[in-house]
């Protein structure tokens, strides 16, 4: 579980550090305050030095395709990751978890000349060839770009991985991206995860006899729900709910809130010991059930030892979370508000007493 996290030169952030992190963390702030960007930065850090994560993040932003173009005036698909599009300053992501010491991930764009200087090699046609004295590449060194993820673990061991793109060759990784440092799931605001993936996770839940992890909280949204099962639906294995009709119904057909909560709780459970990141967590839920949603998230997160980070624009969502954790078995919750102060985004943290006072007086904390 993260104790603190720091992000430098990523999108809108110059240097942001968030501390006093809890089991469940809710991030508020005005539009363009960096809430979604903070989740992305956390996702890349817990995934380790893996350039593939940058492509996945683009998908979460609705960019379903990435096009790589070459030329002196062309931008790379990753220029927007860097603060003010300035790739001369590397992105640095630093964090410390309870299980290990501080760990860093650095992201930078690297020219072909820099690669040769470091590795004594040139890339052409998708292969690496030793060539310490002669440099022959299809484009100039000033145009060629690789996206490099560089990591340093608590033991001081370094790991590097490049996403290499050259004309006439498929983009490829050098070397193969490493496994994630620990489990991490990012749920974007634009939608939820695949129903087929949900089915696979639920299947594992069933093998362990833990179906009630989902049935109890989902019955808050649909009181008629008595059970969940996996059935084929047009070639996909989909979770179906029994709500007293003549046959079970796929969860998305019962309601979008049902499907979204199921996806969320499945990932909190599956990420045991890792992190789940949810953008605009209130989407799909009526304000009257937000308290029960938060109670369910807290219960599953504690049971699986998963840490949750979520964003919101909703006052009702903040109040519901505060009430749910205040009345629950443990107050392991914290609200973080991102504010732009003197041109820099900073974190304002609300502990239990401060948030109680803010809600009682109607102080703006969104």
DSSP per residue, 263-312 = HHHHHHHHTTTSEEEESSTTTT--GGGHHHHHHHHHHHHHHHT-EEEEE-
At 311 the pLDDT is 97
Q: Are 106 and 217 members of one domain?
A: no
Distance CA 350, CA 346 (A): 13
Q: Are 81 and 206 members of one domain?
A: no
pTM of the model: 0.86
Q: ∠ at Cα 135 (129, 137), nearest 5°?
A: 80
At 226 the pLDDT is 92
| Residue whose C-alpha is closest to residue 140's, from 111, 174, 116 | 111
Residue numbers of the domain that contains 126: 49-174
At 314 the pLDDT is 93
Whether 17 is covered by a domain: the verdict is no
Percent of the chain exceeding pLDDT 70 equals 83
At 210 the pLDDT is 78
Whether 6 is covered by a domain: the verdict is no
Residue 313 class from Cβ within 10 Å (0-12 exposed, 13-18 middle, 19+ buried)? Answer: middle
Distance (Å) of CA 60 to CA 107, 132, 191, 217: 19, 40, 9, 26
**Given a cut of 90, is residue 69 above it in pLDDT?**
no
Instruction: Pull the structure tokens for residue 176.
Output: 């193969």
**Given a cut of 80, is residue 30 above it in pLDDT?**
yes
Q: How confident is the model at residue 176 (pLDDT cuts 50, 70, 90)?
A: confident
Whether 289 is covered by a domain: the verdict is yes
Tell me how crowded residue 294 is: count the other CB atoms within 10 A of its CB: 25
Q: ∠ at Cα 343 (279, 275), nearest 5°?
A: 25
**Given a cut of 90, is residue 32 above it in pLDDT?**
no
Buried b (16+ CB within 10 A) or exposed e, 208-244: eeeeebbeebbbbbeeebeebebeebeeebbbbbebe
At 265 the pLDDT is 94
Please give the residue that has the higher pLDDT: either 163 or 355: 355
Q: Are 257 and 355 members of one domain?
A: yes
Q: Choose the final residue of a domain: 143, 174, 205.
A: 174
**Given a cut of 70, is residue 288 above it in pLDDT?**
yes
Q: Are 154 and 213 members of one domain?
A: no
Element spanning 206, H or E: helix 195-207
Q: How confident is the model at residue 289 (pLDDT cuts 50, 70, 90)?
A: very high
Q: Out of 32-36, 170-174, 278-282, 339-343, pick the least confident.
A: 170-174
SS3 content of the chain, % helix, strand, coil (to 5): 35, 30, 35
At 130 the pLDDT is 31
In this structure, is the dihedral angle defined by the CA atoms of residues 125, 128, 134 and 139, taken in order, positive or negative? positive
Whether 290 is covered by a domain: the verdict is yes
Q: Are 169 and 204 members of one domain?
A: no
Query: What angle, rounded to 10 degrees, do the helices at 35-47 and 52-60 form?
Result: 150
Q: Choose the final residue of a domain: 117, 147, 174.
A: 174
Instruction: Please report, for the domain that includes residue 333, its CATH number.
Output: 3.40.50.300
**Given a cut of 90, is residue 101 above it in pLDDT?**
no
**216-241 confidence digits (pLDDT tens):** 889 989 999 999 999 988 888 899 99
Structural contact between residues 92 and 8, judged by C-beta atoms closer than 8 angstroms: yes
333: three-class secondary structure by DSSP: strand
At 190 the pLDDT is 66
Whether 20 is covered by a domain: the verdict is no
Q: Are 330 and 219 members of one domain?
A: yes
**Given a cut of 70, is residue 76 above it in pLDDT?**
no
Distance CA 224, CA 198 (A): 21
At 17 the pLDDT is 96
Q: Are 162 and 237 members of one domain?
A: no
Please give the residue that has the higher pLDDT: either 75 or 57: 57
Whether 38 is covered by a domain: the verdict is no
Tell me how crowded residue 288 is: count the other CB atoms within 10 A of its CB: 10
Q: Are 286 and 167 members of one domain?
A: no
Q: Choose the final residue of a domain: 151, 174, 197.
A: 174
**Given a cut of 70, is residue 66 above it in pLDDT?**
no
Domain count, the chain: 2
Question: Alpha-carbon dihedral of residues 30, 189, 304, 155, nearest 10 degrees?
Answer: -70
Q: How many CA atoms lie less than 13 Å away from 36 in the CB half-sphere?
A: 17
Q: Are 204 and 91 members of one domain?
A: no
Q: Are 59 and 161 members of one domain?
A: yes
Q: Are 54 and 72 members of one domain?
A: yes
**Given a cut of 70, is residue 302 above it in pLDDT?**
yes
Structural contact between residues 305 and 272, judged by C-beta atoms closer than 8 angstroms: yes
Q: Are 169 and 263 members of one domain?
A: no
At 100 the pLDDT is 81
**Given a cut of 50, is residue 286 above it in pLDDT?**
yes
């Amino acid at each position: 579980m993260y104790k603190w996290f720091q992000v430098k030169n990523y999108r809108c952030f110059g240097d942001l550090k968030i501390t006093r992190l809890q089991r469940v963390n809710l991030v508020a702030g005005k539009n363009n305050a960096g809430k979604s960007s903070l989740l992305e930065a956390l996702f890349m850090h817990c995934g380790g030095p893996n350039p593939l994560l940058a492509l996945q993040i683009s998908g979460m932003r609705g960019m379903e395709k990435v096009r790589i173009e070459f030329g002196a005036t062309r931008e790379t698909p990753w220029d927007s990751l860097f603060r003010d599009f300035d790739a001369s300053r590397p992105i640095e992501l630093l964090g410390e978890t309870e299980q290990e010491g501080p760990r860093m991930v650095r992201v930078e764009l690297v020219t072909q000349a820099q690669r040769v200087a470091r590795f004594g090699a040139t890339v052409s046609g998708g292969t690496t060839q030793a060539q310490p004295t002669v440099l022959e590449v299809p484009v100039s060194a000033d145009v060629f770009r690789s996206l490099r993820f560089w990591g340093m673990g608590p033991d001081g061991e370094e790991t590097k991985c490049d996403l290499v793109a050259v004309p006439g060759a498929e983009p490829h990784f050098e070397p193969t991206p490493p496994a994630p440092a620990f489990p991490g799931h990012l749920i974007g605001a634009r939608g939820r995860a695949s129903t087929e993936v949900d089915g696979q996770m639920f299947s594992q839940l069933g093998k362990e006899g833990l179906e009630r992890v989902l049935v109890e909280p989902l019955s808050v949204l649909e009181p008629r729900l008595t059970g969940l099962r996996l059935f084929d639906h047009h070639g996909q294995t989909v979770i179906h709910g029994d709500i007293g009709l003549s046959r079970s119904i796929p969860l998305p057909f019962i309601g979008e809130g049902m499907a979204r909560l199921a996806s969320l709780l499945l990932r909190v459970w599956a990420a045991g010991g890792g992190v789940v990141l949810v953008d605009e967590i209130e989407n799909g839920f009526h304000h009257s059930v937000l308290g029960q949603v938060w109670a369910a998230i807290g219960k599953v997160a504690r049971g699986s030892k998963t840490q949750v980070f979520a964003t919101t624009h909703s006052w009702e969502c903040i109040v519901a979370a505060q009430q749910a954790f205040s009345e629950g078995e443990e107050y392991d919750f914290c609200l973080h508000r991102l504010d732009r102060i003197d041109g820099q985004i900073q974190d304002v943290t609300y502990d239990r007493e401060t948030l109680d006072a803010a809600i009682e007086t109607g102080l703006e904390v969104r």
